[in-house]
């Protein structure tokens, strides 16, 4: 059921129903984004739930999620719109074959049916019939500066000009979520138009809630041990510490193996689910795993 999301508590509640445990600062940022009509820029390490937040938001609002995955070289043709040239060519040939080519006008081949709408244009148009969609611009740091500059324009006016057709303006602007992994600094001009929130790794208690919400049926003891172990790993000096996504994968993997508790052998065997760098795995496997497990057992 779509929610009205009229307060931070309503957002927390709606997200929780969908298995997303949001703390109050995230809920506040989302709430303000909706209320002030501002894009929300989410930054955080990989696997802390940035993309997921957009999905949950769309589902909470009962609206569509339109996603634009960014990459270097992303241009207007793939992000906004493109003319379907092959089809236009065919149309010209057809007109010729029917002997109508002489009477044809530009409108015959630059009509809406020849326009391929890419995510940004879809997002602008989708709001005209009902609820505006959630537009997720994922990993904006992967796009290059040229695209960022273009995005600035769209995010301030929510309109696009197609020379052959005219200006297309969103009647009701989409709710925009941008995410970044900080592989580079997003330009200040773009940041200025957005609300900003840094998503940190959650506390152990919150992460435990997340595991329970996302991996239903995981034995409580196992879930607590997994979370405590992952938290210990995050303090260690690793190339890439595990995110929430890894915690969830690990809990699911251990469940699939029918584990009821963490043993050093089990951790060693499944370490590849949590750590993604060979040197990290080598560093942790064996004695370190044992000592961490002992710490975890002592702490919990």
Kindly state the helix (H) or strand (E) to which residue 195 belongs, with its residue range.
Answer: strand 195-199
Between residues 191 and 285, which has the closer beta carbon with respect to other proteins? 191
How many DSSP H helices and E strands does the chain contain? 15, 9
Q: Tokens 């995110």 appear where?
A: 243
Q: Nearest distance from residue 243's CB to other proteins, in Å? A: 14
Q: Nearest distance from residue 67's CB to other proteins, in Å? A: 20
For 43, 220, 223, 244, the CA distances from 249, given in Å and listed in that order, are 22, 16, 12, 9
Pairing outcome for strands 175-180 and 40-44: parallel
Dihedral pair phi/psi, residue 180, rounded to 5°: -145, 140
Between residues 265 and 287, which has the closer beta carbon with respect to other proteins? 287
Between residues 261 and 279, which has the closer beta carbon with respect to other proteins? 279
Between residues 72 and 235, which has the closer beta carbon with respect to other proteins? 72
Q: Nearest distance from residue 235's CB to other proteins, in Å? A: 13
Q: Are 132 and 126 in contact (CB under 8 A)?
A: yes
Between residues 179 and 212, which has the closer beta carbon with respect to other proteins? 179
For 2, 122, 161, the CA distances from 67, given in Å and listed in that order, are 20, 10, 21
Q: Nearest distance from residue 11's CB to other proteins, in Å? A: 10
Between residues 220 and 277, which has the closer beta carbon with respect to other proteins? 277
Q: Nearest distance from residue 179's CB to other proteins, in Å? A: 14
Q: Nearest distance from residue 148's CB to other proteins, in Å? A: 13
Q: Which residues bind other proteins (CB under 8 A)?
A: 2, 4-8, 24-25, 28-29, 31-38, 40, 43, 61, 71-73, 75, 77, 82-83, 85-86, 88-89, 92-93, 96, 101, 109, 131, 141, 144, 146, 156-158, 172-173, 182-185, 188, 191-192, 195-198, 237, 239, 278-279
Q: Tokens 């609820």 appear where?
A: 131
Kindly report the number of other CB atoms within 10 A of residue 33's CB atom.
21
159 pairs with which residues across the strands? 169
């Amino acid at each position: 059921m779509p929610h009205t999301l009229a307060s931070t508590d309503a957002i927390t509640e709606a997200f929780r129903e969908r298995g997303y445990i949001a703390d109050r600062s995230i809920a506040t940022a989302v709430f303000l984004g909706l209320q002030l009509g501002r894009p929300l820029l989410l930054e955080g390490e990989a696997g802390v739930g940035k993309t997921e937040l957009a999905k949950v938001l769309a589902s909470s609002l009962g609206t569509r999620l339109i996603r634009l995955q960014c990459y270097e070289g992303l241009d207007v043709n793939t992000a906004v719109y493109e003319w379907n040239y092959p089809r236009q060519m065919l149309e010209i040939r057809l007109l010729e074959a029917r002997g109508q080519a002489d009477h044809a006008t530009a409108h015959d081949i630059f009509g809406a049916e020849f326009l391929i709408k890419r995510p940004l244009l879809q997002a602008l148009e989708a709001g005209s019939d009902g609820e505006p969609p959630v537009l997720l611009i994922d990993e904006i740091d992967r796009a290059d500066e040229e695209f960022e500059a273009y995005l600035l324009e769209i995010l301030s006016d929510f309109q696009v000009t197609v020379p052959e057709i005219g200006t297309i303006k969103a009647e009701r602007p989409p709710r925009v979520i941008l995410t970044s992994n900080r592989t580079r600094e997003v330009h200040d001009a773009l940041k200025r138009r957005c609300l900003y929130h840094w998503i940190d790794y959650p506390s152990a208690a919150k992460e435990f809630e997340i595991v329970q919400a996302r991996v239903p049926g995981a034995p409580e003891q196992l879930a607590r041990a997994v979370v405590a172990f992952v938290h210990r790993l995050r303090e260690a000096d690793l190339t890439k510490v595990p995110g929430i996504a890894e915690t969830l994968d690990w809990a699911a993997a251990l469940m699939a193996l029918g584990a009821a508790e963490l043993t050093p052998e089990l951790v060693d065997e499944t370490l590849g689910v949590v750590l993604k760098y060979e040197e990290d795995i080598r560093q942790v496997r064996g004695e370190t795993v044992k000592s961490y497990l002992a710490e975890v057992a002592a702490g919990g």
